[in-house]
Chain A
Protein backbone atom coordinates (compact mmCIF):
# COMPACT_ATOMS: atom_id res chain seq x y z
CA UNK A 1 0.00 0.00 0.00
CA UNK A 2 1.30 3.37 -1.04
CA UNK A 3 1.27 5.67 1.99
CA UNK A 4 2.52 8.67 0.05
CA UNK A 5 0.85 9.38 -3.27
CA UNK A 6 1.68 11.68 -6.12
CA UNK A 7 -1.22 11.30 -8.52
CA UNK A 8 0.22 13.39 -11.34
CA UNK A 9 3.03 11.54 -13.08
CA UNK A 10 3.92 14.59 -15.15
CA UNK A 11 3.46 18.35 -15.35
CA UNK A 12 4.44 20.88 -18.01
CA UNK A 13 4.72 24.57 -17.22
CA UNK A 14 5.85 27.60 -19.18
CA UNK A 15 9.02 29.30 -17.99
CA UNK A 16 8.24 32.12 -15.56
CA UNK A 17 4.93 30.62 -14.48
CA UNK A 18 4.13 28.85 -11.23
CA UNK A 19 4.60 25.09 -10.90
CA UNK A 20 2.41 23.34 -8.34
CA UNK A 21 3.22 19.75 -7.43
CA UNK A 22 0.83 17.87 -5.19
CA UNK A 23 1.22 15.06 -2.70
CA UNK A 24 -1.23 13.16 -0.50
CA UNK A 25 -0.54 10.82 2.38
CA UNK A 26 -2.59 8.33 4.31
CA UNK A 27 -0.66 7.73 7.53
CA UNK A 28 -1.64 10.21 10.22
CA UNK A 29 1.55 9.35 12.13
CA UNK A 30 3.66 11.19 9.56
CA UNK A 31 4.84 14.46 10.99
CA UNK A 32 7.73 15.48 8.79
CA UNK A 33 7.61 15.97 5.05
CA UNK A 34 10.29 16.54 2.47
CA UNK A 35 10.62 17.19 -1.23
CA UNK A 36 13.49 15.73 -3.23
CA UNK A 37 14.47 16.55 -6.78
CA UNK A 38 16.05 14.04 -9.13
CA UNK A 39 17.86 14.57 -12.40
CA UNK A 40 18.48 11.60 -14.74
CA UNK A 41 21.35 9.34 -13.69
CA UNK A 42 21.72 11.17 -10.38
CA UNK A 43 20.54 10.43 -6.88
CA UNK A 44 17.70 12.44 -5.36
CA UNK A 45 18.75 15.73 -3.78
CA UNK A 46 16.98 17.39 -0.89
CA UNK A 47 14.99 20.47 -1.78
CA UNK A 48 12.82 21.61 1.12
CA UNK A 49 11.06 20.21 4.18
CA UNK A 50 8.28 21.04 6.58
CA UNK A 51 7.35 19.90 10.05
CA UNK A 52 3.74 19.18 10.90
CA UNK A 53 3.72 22.05 13.39
CA UNK A 54 3.89 24.44 10.45
CA UNK A 55 1.64 24.95 7.45
CA UNK A 56 4.12 26.73 5.23
CA UNK A 57 7.84 26.82 4.65
CA UNK A 58 9.53 29.03 2.11
CA UNK A 59 13.02 28.92 0.64
CA UNK A 60 13.63 31.27 -2.24
CA UNK A 61 11.52 30.25 -5.21
CA UNK A 62 10.29 27.14 -3.41
CA UNK A 63 7.40 27.02 -0.96
CA UNK A 64 5.87 23.94 0.62
CA UNK A 65 2.34 24.06 2.00
CA UNK A 66 0.95 21.49 4.42
CA UNK A 67 -2.75 20.84 5.07
CA UNK A 68 -2.81 18.29 7.88
CA UNK A 69 -6.57 17.91 8.00
CA UNK A 70 -6.61 17.00 4.32
CA UNK A 71 -3.35 15.01 4.56
CA UNK A 72 -2.11 17.00 1.61
CA UNK A 73 0.99 18.95 0.80
CA UNK A 74 2.11 20.88 -2.22
CA UNK A 75 5.29 22.36 -3.60
CA UNK A 76 5.11 25.69 -5.36
CA UNK A 77 7.93 26.86 -7.60
CA UNK A 78 7.73 30.45 -8.77
CA UNK A 79 8.96 31.58 -11.16
CA UNK A 80 9.67 28.24 -12.84
CA UNK A 81 12.95 27.93 -14.72
CA UNK A 82 14.07 25.38 -17.35
CA UNK A 83 16.68 24.08 -14.87
CA UNK A 84 13.83 23.05 -12.59
CA UNK A 85 12.91 20.30 -15.06
CA UNK A 86 13.36 17.08 -13.09
CA UNK A 87 11.42 14.41 -11.23
CA UNK A 88 10.14 15.62 -7.86
CA UNK A 89 9.54 13.15 -5.06
CA UNK A 90 7.46 13.84 -2.00
CA UNK A 91 8.56 11.97 1.13
CA UNK A 92 7.27 11.60 4.66
CA UNK A 93 8.58 10.32 7.95
CA UNK A 94 7.59 9.79 11.52
CA UNK A 95 10.08 12.03 13.23
CA UNK A 96 10.35 9.87 16.30
CA UNK A 97 10.90 6.16 16.24
CA UNK A 98 11.32 5.67 12.55
CA UNK A 99 14.43 5.73 10.48
CA UNK A 100 13.14 5.71 6.96
CA UNK A 101 11.43 7.95 4.49
CA UNK A 102 8.30 6.92 2.63
CA UNK A 103 8.46 8.24 -0.91
CA UNK A 104 5.78 8.95 -3.48
CA UNK A 105 6.14 7.77 -7.06
CA UNK A 106 7.31 11.14 -8.31
CA UNK A 107 6.11 13.85 -10.68
CA UNK A 108 8.14 14.72 -13.76
CA UNK A 109 8.19 18.50 -14.18
CA UNK A 110 9.04 19.99 -17.55
CA UNK A 111 9.55 23.73 -17.73
CA UNK A 112 9.19 24.94 -21.29
CA UNK A 113 11.45 27.85 -22.28
Chain B
Protein backbone atom coordinates (compact mmCIF):
# COMPACT_ATOMS: atom_id res chain seq x y z
CA UNK B 1 0.00 0.00 0.00
CA UNK B 2 0.96 3.63 -0.27
CA UNK B 3 0.90 4.47 3.42
CA UNK B 4 2.59 3.29 6.62
CA UNK B 5 1.25 -0.11 7.53
CA UNK B 6 1.13 -1.42 11.09
CA UNK B 7 0.22 -4.88 12.31
CA UNK B 8 -1.56 -6.04 14.31
CA UNK B 9 -4.15 -3.31 14.58
CA UNK B 10 -5.22 -4.70 17.94
CA UNK B 11 -3.37 -6.91 20.38
CA UNK B 12 -4.67 -8.17 23.71
CA UNK B 13 -2.17 -9.96 25.90
CA UNK B 14 -1.68 -10.97 29.48
CA UNK B 15 0.67 -9.36 31.93
CA UNK B 16 4.15 -10.83 31.64
CA UNK B 17 3.86 -11.90 28.01
CA UNK B 18 6.09 -10.89 25.10
CA UNK B 19 4.70 -8.76 22.27
CA UNK B 20 5.95 -7.77 18.83
CA UNK B 21 4.48 -4.91 16.81
CA UNK B 22 5.38 -4.48 13.17
CA UNK B 23 5.72 -1.37 11.02
CA UNK B 24 6.10 -1.26 7.25
CA UNK B 25 7.05 2.31 6.27
CA UNK B 26 6.39 4.11 3.02
CA UNK B 27 8.72 2.81 0.34
CA UNK B 28 11.82 4.96 0.03
CA UNK B 29 11.47 6.56 3.44
CA UNK B 30 14.77 6.20 5.29
CA UNK B 31 13.63 7.64 8.62
CA UNK B 32 11.31 5.62 10.86
CA UNK B 33 9.86 6.60 14.24
CA UNK B 34 7.93 4.83 16.97
CA UNK B 35 5.61 6.80 19.23
CA UNK B 36 3.29 5.71 22.02
CA UNK B 37 -0.06 7.34 22.72
CA UNK B 38 -1.69 6.64 26.05
CA UNK B 39 -5.35 7.45 26.67
CA UNK B 40 -5.95 11.18 26.81
CA UNK B 41 -2.37 12.02 25.92
CA UNK B 42 -0.51 13.10 22.83
CA UNK B 43 1.95 10.79 21.10
CA UNK B 44 5.25 10.35 22.96
CA UNK B 45 8.49 9.65 21.17
CA UNK B 46 10.08 6.24 21.71
CA UNK B 47 12.78 5.65 19.11
CA UNK B 48 14.06 6.89 15.76
CA UNK B 49 15.85 4.96 13.01
CA UNK B 50 17.83 6.45 10.18
CA UNK B 51 18.38 3.50 7.86
CA UNK B 52 19.15 0.36 9.85
CA UNK B 53 20.55 1.97 12.97
CA UNK B 54 18.71 3.32 15.98
CA UNK B 55 19.91 6.91 15.84
CA UNK B 56 17.98 7.96 18.94
CA UNK B 57 16.40 5.57 21.45
CA UNK B 58 16.15 8.09 24.27
CA UNK B 59 12.37 7.75 24.49
CA UNK B 60 12.28 4.04 25.28
CA UNK B 61 10.89 3.85 28.84
CA UNK B 62 13.02 0.96 30.07
CA UNK B 63 14.97 -2.08 28.92
CA UNK B 64 11.82 -4.13 28.37
CA UNK B 65 11.36 -2.16 25.16
CA UNK B 66 13.50 -2.81 22.12
CA UNK B 67 13.15 -2.09 18.41
CA UNK B 68 14.95 -3.30 15.31
CA UNK B 69 15.06 -2.41 11.65
CA UNK B 70 17.49 -4.97 10.22
CA UNK B 71 17.22 -4.12 6.54
CA UNK B 72 16.39 -0.45 6.78
CA UNK B 73 12.74 -0.91 5.91
CA UNK B 74 10.36 -2.90 8.15
CA UNK B 75 10.73 -2.31 11.87
CA UNK B 76 9.60 -4.37 14.84
CA UNK B 77 8.95 -2.98 18.30
CA UNK B 78 9.43 -5.66 20.94
CA UNK B 79 8.08 -5.48 24.47
CA UNK B 80 9.15 -8.06 27.04
CA UNK B 81 7.34 -8.93 30.27
CA UNK B 82 4.44 -6.66 29.44
CA UNK B 83 2.81 -4.65 32.20
CA UNK B 84 -0.66 -3.14 32.40
CA UNK B 85 0.91 0.32 32.07
CA UNK B 86 2.17 -0.62 28.62
CA UNK B 87 -1.40 -0.49 27.32
CA UNK B 88 -1.50 2.23 24.66
CA UNK B 89 -1.65 2.83 20.94
CA UNK B 90 1.78 2.37 19.40
CA UNK B 91 2.22 4.60 16.36
CA UNK B 92 4.83 4.21 13.68
CA UNK B 93 5.78 7.06 11.35
CA UNK B 94 8.19 7.47 8.48
CA UNK B 95 9.69 10.33 6.51
CA UNK B 96 12.00 10.71 3.56
CA UNK B 97 15.01 11.58 5.67
CA UNK B 98 16.27 13.46 8.67
CA UNK B 99 16.16 16.98 7.27
CA UNK B 100 12.85 16.54 5.55
CA UNK B 101 11.44 14.78 8.55
CA UNK B 102 12.06 17.73 10.80
CA UNK B 103 11.04 20.42 8.35
CA UNK B 104 8.03 18.72 6.93
CA UNK B 105 5.77 15.96 7.97
CA UNK B 106 5.87 12.55 9.47
CA UNK B 107 3.56 10.04 7.86
CA UNK B 108 1.86 8.04 10.59
CA UNK B 109 0.31 4.61 10.42
CA UNK B 110 -3.03 3.82 12.03
CA UNK B 111 -1.33 2.40 15.09
CA UNK B 112 -1.37 -0.86 16.99
CA UNK B 113 -3.60 -0.81 20.04
CA UNK B 114 -2.04 -2.90 22.80
CA UNK B 115 -4.09 -3.96 25.78
CA UNK B 116 -2.34 -5.74 28.64
CA UNK B 117 -4.74 -7.50 30.98
Residues 1-41 of A contacting B (Cβ, < 8 Å): 4, 6, 32, 34, 36, 41
- The stretch among B12-20, B64-72, B78-86, B98-106 that forms the contact with chain A is B98-106
B1 on the interface (CB 8 Å rule)?
no
Count residues of A near B (Cβ-Cβ below 8 Å): 26
Residues 74-111 of B contacting A (Cβ, < 8 Å): 91, 93, 98, 101-111
By beta carbon, the residue of chain B nearest A34 is B105
Count residues of B near A (Cβ-Cβ below 8 Å): 29
CB proximity of A107 to chain B, nearest CB, Å: 10
CB proximity of B7 to chain A, nearest CB, Å: 14
B41 on the interface (CB 8 Å rule)?
yes
Residues of A within 8 A of B50 (CB): 99
Contact at A46–B106, with CB atoms within 8 Å?
Answer: yes
Contact at A99–B111, with CB atoms within 8 Å?
Answer: no
CB proximity of A9 to chain B, nearest CB, Å: 8
By beta carbon, the residue of chain B nearest A91 is B42
Contact at B102–A93, with CB atoms within 8 Å?
Answer: yes
Residues 56-113 of A contacting B (Cβ, < 8 Å): 89, 91, 93, 95, 98-106
Residues of A within 8 A of B55 (CB): 99
Residues of A within 8 A of B48 (CB): 99-100
Contact at B93–A89, with CB atoms within 8 Å?
Answer: no
By beta carbon, the residue of chain A nearest B105 is A46
Residues of B within 8 A of A4 (CB): 42
The contact of B4 among A43, A95, A105, by CB within 8 Å, is A43
Residues of A within 8 A of B44 (CB): 103
Residues 3-59 of B contacting A (Cβ, < 8 Å): 4, 31, 33, 35, 40-45, 48, 50, 55-56, 59
| Chain A to chain B contacts (Cβ below 8 Å), 20 pairs | A4-B42, A32-B102, A43-B108, A43-B110, A45-B108, A46-B105, A46-B106, A46-B107, A49-B103, A89-B43, A91-B42, A95-B103, A99-B50, A99-B56, A99-B102, A100-B33, A100-B45, A101-B43, A103-B35, A106-B42
